[in-house]
Chain A
Amino acid sequence: MEALVLAQAAKVDTGDTAWMLAATALVLLMTPALGLFYAGLVRSKNTLNTFMMCIAAIAIATVTWAAIGYSFAFGEANEIIGGFDHAFLKDVTLEPREGSTIPHLLFFAFQGTFCIITVALISGAVVERMRFGAFLVFAALWSVLVYAVLAHWAFGPGWLLNGGTLDFAGGVPVEMASGFSALAAALVVGARKDYGRLALLPHNAIYCLLGAGLLWFGWFGFNGGSGFGTGQNSVLAFTNTLLCPATSLIVWFALDLIRGRTVTAIGAATAIIVGCVLITPAGGFVSPGWAMALGAAGALPCYAVIAFRPRTRVDETLDVLAAHGIAGLTGILFVGFFAQESWNGISDGLLYGNAAQLGDQALAALAAPAYAFVMTFALLKLIGLLMPLRATQREEALGMDVVQHGEEAYVSGEGAILVAPEPDAAGEVAVAQPG
């Protein structure tokens, strides 16, 4: 037994570890970048609250990930859920995780940053009205009961991974999970009070572009790190992360031109994110040429959903479903058609003679959205029984920044009176007795 363990114990590779340390930091940057992107898309009175939901995701999801989420995701109890093997970082050491060349602790940190960004993504469905406290409770429960379970299915080793589903960097637990959870969250929390009646417009397109640019930058760590080293799949995924969003941008420009006769900036910011999401499940599995095709073709369904959604009563405010759910689903299915063993060394898709791969991908594209939607719907209904999910109409009118945080994003300071600490008694006496 001991000899077997020794034989399996791989050595830590310094090059792989160096890249994964950097990649982990890159993925963490994506969450404040998302905060900036989301903050630009809301009205100015909700800027801070929107950004703070992303910051809160870092706090909450990191702690739940260390406590139990990582164990549920990467423990080996069964194919549905990971169990308690690694609860509170038990046996997560500096030795490499089985089958990898980086320290287990680093693998834990890298995967933790994925959980964080996914929780932050869902906030886009409920900004401008959900109470901050209720969101914190939701974030804690969702990160463990939804994210960790889906991560186990796709990466774990869970039933999707073992069944042959290919998901390079998180089409299942990150993109489809956040997108379809966002839809459920929007339905349970309900529309903003003025939704569909007044124009509720983005207040700062610069934030959107800068946020999207930083997200793209971070995504090189997200996709490029999902090969857990510096191997060929990592290089392929890294380069595809450059190629795919570029073609998404061009197609988005064309669609904007056809629809509104101008190329819009907020459309461009959205296209960058859509392109990055499209390549997430496919990054290390498809050729650079097919990555560019994916960016172009995959932009179409996402654009259609973004154009259609505001005509409905569903106030899925920042279109997480379109940009993440639909794009993630498209990317997962794309792998089933265009995966190429000569590039990925693992499996071919339908086009290269392996029709079964498409079946495996379709299974993930059904199971993940269904689980995410149902669980999120139930979780929020449950939390709603214990505490109000949303602010009152009056608070919503005032803005979530002042109501939830007691701050404003664009404070002028005019008319602000300093609230001094209690003056000490001696000082008062001295002033009170002039001359």
Chain B
Amino acid sequence: MKLVIGIVRPEKANDVLEALYRAEVRGVSLSRVQGHGGELDRVETYRGTTVKMGLSDKVRFEIAVSDPFVEPTISALCEGGRTGEVGDGKIFVVPLERVVRIRTSETDDAAVTPVGA
């Protein structure tokens, strides 16, 4: 079991969701985050104040999957999130110690397998 964390552009979030759906990866959490990954700073001006916006809006996907689903998840994130410009984001894969589904107390692989799959 792995936790796949993907940080992508907000405007690509829908494409990623679509790609994940096609890869039959269900069970996704996403949150809006701000971050910086080496892309060029945007310069904005508010009246006399000019600022460099060091942080860009990103969307962070968190997907807990069983081992056979790790690669499909990663390729879905890449495929859906890529524009080719700096700032497309990153994917982090971390091992998962334990997963519990609250409703049924199922654990581990059974808990990360979506209902009806």
Which residues of chain A have a CB within 8 Å of any CB of chain B?
194, 198, 394, 397-398, 402, 406-408, 411-419
Contact = CB atoms under 8 A, between A and B. Distances in A.
Interface string B39-71: 001111110011111110000000000000000
A414 B49 CA distance: 15
Contact of A419 (B14, B36, B52): B52
Most chain A beta carbons < 10 A, residue from B11, B51, B54, B55: B11
Most chain B beta carbons < 10 A, residue from A397, A407, A415: A415
Given A397-B11, A415-B54, A416-B51, A408 B44 contact: yes
Contact of A406 (B14, B44, B55): B44
Contact of B54 (A394, A397, A417): A417
A416 B53 contact: yes
7 contacts: A194-B14, A408-B44, A415-B34, A415-B36, A415-B53, A415-B55, A416-B52
A417 B14 contact: no
B83 interface: yes
Contact of B46 (A198, A398, A407): A407
Interface in B65-98: 83, 85
Most chain A beta carbons < 10 A, residue from B41, B43, B44, B85: B44
Interface residues of B, number: 21
Contact of B49 (A394, A412, A415, A418): A418
A407 B49 contact: no
Contacts of B9: 397
Nearest to B42: A402
A402 B44 contact: yes
B83 to A, nearest CB: 7
A411 B52 CA distance: 12
Given A412-B34, A413-B51, 10 more contacts: A198-B14, A394-B83, A411-B44, A411-B46, A414-B34, A416-B52, A416-B54, A417-B52, A418-B50, A419-B50
A419 B51 contact: yes
Contacts of A419: 43, 50-52
B45 A406 contact: yes
Nearest to A412: B34
B19 to A, nearest CB: 14
Nearest to B85: A394
Contacts of B42: 402, 406
Contacts of A412: 34
B14 A414 contact: no
Contacts of A407: 44-46
B50 A414 contact: no
A398 B53 CA distance: 14
B9 to A, nearest CB: 8
Nearest to B52: A417
A406 B43 contact: yes
